[in-house]
Structure 1
Amino acid sequence: MSDTTKIAKKLNFFERYLSLWVILCMGAGVALGKLAPGFMKTLGQLEFGTGSQVNVPIAILIWLMIYPMMLKIDFGSLVGVTKRPKGLLVTLFVNWLVKPFSMAFFAWLFIQTLFARWIDPETARNYTAGLIILAAAPCTAMVFVWSYLTDGDPAYTLVQVAVNDLIMLFAFAPIVMFLCGVANVIVPSKVLITSVVVFIVIPLAAGYLTRTVLLKSHGREWFEQKFLPRFHPVTVLALLATLVLIFAFQAENLTTRWFAVLLLAVPILVQVYFNSSLAYFLMRWFKVPHNVASPGALIGASNFFELAVAVAITLFGPASPAALACVVGVLVEVPVMLSVCRICNSSRAWYQRAVPAA
C-alpha cells in the first residue's frame, strides 16, 4: 500500500475538507467580532495574570490541541534524539540564522520598496519592525498541531521546540535590536515565561502523567487502541475554534484596515513558503526521516505570535503599525501553515525516495 493511500485512509471528514472549514471559521470569526464586540472584548481581557498577554480561552483551546500530541510521546525515546541530531541542527539553522534575516529582507523589498507608493516611509519602517519581531520568535504551541497533522515524531518535535525556547530566552532581544535598529528593546519576560509554562510545561506534564498512569493501569494495547483514538477529532475541532476566536478578536482591524492587511500578508506569505521549503529540502538533502522533516519545516516557518504581539505593543503601542503587522501574522499563519502541512503530506512519497526507511 502506498504512503498516499495510507494518508487518505487516515483522514476523517473534518480533516479531508479542512481548508473549507478554515474559510468558514474566518467568516464566522469576523461576523462574531462585529456583531458582539463587547463580548469579544471581555473574552480578550481574560489573561493568565495582568500583562501576560496570554489569553485564557485561546490557551485552553491550545491545550486541547497539544494534549493529544503529548499523550503519544514515549519519554524514554527523547534520549534517542541525540543520536540523530541532523534534523535538530537544520531546524536551528533555519530558525535563527535564516528566518529573522529573510523576513527583514522581504519586509524591505515589499513594504519599503515595491509598496512604497501606498505606504509613507515612517509607517513602512514601523511595519518592517513588526514583521521582524514576528519572525524572530519561533513558534511554540502550534508546532505540536502541525506535527500531529503531518504524522511527525512527537518526541523529536518536543526536543526541537524545547531547544528553540531555550535559545529564545537569550537570542530574541539581540536579534530584534540588531535588525530593527532599536536601541532599547524590552522583551517582556513575564510574557515569555508565562507562555512557555502555559503552552509547553502544563500540557507536557498532563500528557506525561496521563500516559504513565494509564499504561501502568490498563496496558499499552488498551492505551493505544482504545484511549488515544478518542482524541483524534479533538485537535482539529480545537484548531477551528481557535481560528474563530482569533478572527473575532481582530475583526475591527480586518474590516477597517483591510488594505494594509493585504499588503502585510505578502511578505509573511513569501517568508513562510521560503523558510519551510528551505528546511524541507535541507532535511531531504541530509536524509532526515520524513516524520522529523515535516515538523522541522513547519517549525522553520511558523511564529510565536503571542510573544511577538506583546513585544510590538510594549515597544510601539497597541495601535501602532508594528503591532498591526504582528496581528496580520496571527491572521495569516493558521491557513498558510495548513497548506504547508498539506504539501508535506502530499510530497511524502517523493521525499522518501531519497531517504532510506528508518
Structure 2
Amino acid sequence: MSIFERYLTLWVAICIVLGIAAGHFVPGFFQGLGALEYAKVNMPMAMLIWLMIIPMLVRIDFMSLRQVGAYWRGIGVTVFINWAIKPFSMALLGWLFVGWLFRPLLPEMQIDSYIAGLIILAAAPCTAMVFVWSNLVKGEPHFTLSQVALNDAIMVIAFAPIVGLLLGLSAIVVPWDTLLLSVGLYIVVPVVAAQVCRRWLLATGGIDAMNRVLAVLQPISIAALLLTLVMLFGFQGEQIIAQPTIILLLAVPILIQVYFNAGMAYLLNRASGEQHCVAGPSALIGASNFFELAVAAAIALFGFNSGAALATVVGVLVEVPVMLSVVWIVNRSKEWYDNGAAVRRNTKSRAAE
C-alpha cells in the first residue's frame, strides 16, 4: 500500500480544510469553475475524473473474464452482493437514517439529495483500491482481477438503470439525459480509452513499458483526486461550517452498509465452501465503492453545491479506516472460516483430485 493509500483519510481531511478555506477567501474562483459547463457536465471536473480513472482502468485486463468460471462461487456471491443487495440496502439505510432518524438534524432542502448521493455511492463497486485490499488479505490475484473486470463490464450496463430506479423510488426526479451522459463520460469513455492505451503499450513495449507509464500516471491520478476534493469542499464549505455534524451523520449509514455487505459476502462464501483466499477479496469487493465515479456522477446530476456530492465525498473520507478494519477481521477469522463444514468438504475434494 502506498503512502497515499495508507493515509487517504488524512489527505482527504487536509483537502477539506484547504477547500473550505479557498472557498471562503476566493469564492469567485470557484463560481467561475462551476460555470464551465456543457450539457450540464462541468468540464474541469470531467478532465479531473478522467485523469483519476483511466490510469486505474489501464491495469484491468478484460481478457481475465475467461477465468470467471474457475471461481464461480466467489464470483456469484460478489455479483449478488454488489448488484442485488448493496444499492438497495444503502437506499433503505438512507431512507431510515437520513430521511427519518436524522431528519431534524439536517438541512431540510438537502434531505433527498443526501439520500441520492448515498445511492450513487453504493451503485458503483470499487475498481482500484480492491487490489490493495486483496493483497492485504492474501487474496487470490486472478479472482480479484476477473471480478473487477466483470464488475466494470456490468457497471456499463447496470449503473444507470439501478440509480434511476432507486432515485425514482425515493421520489427524486431523475434527469435521465444527464445520468446517461454521466455513464458515457465516466464509465464508457474511460474504459475504452484505458483498454486502447493498454493494448498499445503492451504491443509497443510489453508489460514493462505499461508499468513505467503507470508509474508516471499514478501521481497525476492522485493529484487529480485531491484537486477534485478541494473543488468539492470549496463549494460545500459554507454548509459544512454551518453544520459540521453533517459529515458524521452521513457516515453512519455508510459504515453500517460496509460491515453488512462485507459480512454477508464473507458468510455466503463460507456457506458455499469457497476458499478463504477468494472469500476475503470477495467480501472486500462487496463492501467498497468506486468513489471517483460516484463523486463525478453526483456532481453531474445534482451540482457541486448539492448534498449528493457531499454524501459521496463522505464515502471517500471513511473508505480507508473502515476497509482496513474489514481486512483485520478477515485475517483474524481465517481459522474459524477454514473450519466451516462446506469449506473442509471442498478442500478435501480438491486435494483428492
User: Does TM, scored on the shorter chain, surpass 0.5?
Assistant: yes
Specify the alignment match of 2:237 in structure 1: 251
Asked if the contact 2:186–2:296 (Cα under 8 Å) also holds between the matched residues in 1, the reply is no
SS at match of 1:304: helix
What is the alpha-carbon distance in structure 2 between the residues aligned to residue 237 and residue 57 of structure 1? 14
Is structure 2 residue 162 aligned with structure 1 residue 156?
no
The aligned residue for residue 203 of structure 2 is 216
Specify whether residues 205 and 338 from structure 1 end up closer, same or farther in structure 2 by C-alpha distance, changes over 3 A only.
same
**Correspondence list, 1:158-237, <5 A:** 158-178=149-169, 180=170, 182=171, 186-220=173-207, 222-223=208-209, 226-237=212-223
Output the amino acid matched with 1:202: V
Distance 2:204 2:292 in 1: 38
State the shift of 1:142 in Å: 8.0
Query: Structure 2 residue aligned with 1:336, among 310, 318, 321?
Result: 318
Tell me how far apart the structure 2 counterparts of residues 117 and 73 of structure 1 sit (CA, whole Å): 44
Residue identity opposite 1:339 in structure 2:
P
Structure 2 length normalisation: TM-score?
Answer: 0.74
- Mapping of 1:24-103 within 5 angstroms? 24-47=14-37, 49-52=38-41, 55-103=42-90
1: CA distance between counterparts of 2:46 and 2:333?
A: 34
Q: Which amino acid aligns with 1:343?
A: S
Measured after TM superposition, the shift of residue 27 of structure 1 is: 0.9
Q: Name whichever structure is richer in helix by fraction.
A: 2
**Cα 1:201/1:154, change in 2 over 3 Å:** farther
Once the two structures are superposed, what CA deviation does each residue of 1:128-162 show, in whole Å capped at 9, x if it has no partner?
x4444334435577832333443573442132133
Percent identity of equivalent pairs = 33
- Give yes or no for contact 2:87–2:119 (8 Å, CA) kept in 1: yes
Question: What one-letter code is carried by the residue in structure 2 that aligns with 1:239?
Answer: L
1:268 CA displacement: 3.8
Deviates more, 1:110-119 or 1:12-21: 110-119
1:37-93 CA distance string (max 9 Å, x none): 11112112333x2224xx333333332332222222223222322553444433443
Read off the aligned partner of 1:253 and give its amino acid letter: Q
Aligned counterparts of 1:81 and 1:251: Cα–Cα separation in 2: 45
Which one-letter code corresponds to 2:55 in the other structure? P
1:327 paired to 2:309: yes
From 119, 124, 127, give the equivalent of 1:144: 127
Q: Aligned partners of 1:142, 1:300: CA distance in 2, in Å?
A: 5
| Cα RMSD after superposing both structures | 3.8
Q: Which runs of 5+ in 2 are unaligned?
A: 135-140
- Counterpart for residue 226 of structure 2: 240
Q: How many angstroms apart in 2 are the aligned matches of 1:164 and 1:156?
A: 12
Q: Which residue of 2 aligns with 1:275?
A: 261
Query: Aligned partners of 1:202 and 1:116: how far apart in 2?
Result: 38
Q: TM-score, normalised by structure 1?
A: 0.73
Query: Within 5 Å, which residues of 2 pair with 1:117-136?
Result: 118=105, 123=108, 127=111, 129-136=112-119
With over 3 angstroms needed to count, the CA separation of the structure-2 counterparts of 1:154 and 1:26, relative to structure 1, is farther
DSSP 3-state at the match of 1:187:
coil
Q: What residue in structure 1 maps to residue 288 of structure 2?
A: 298
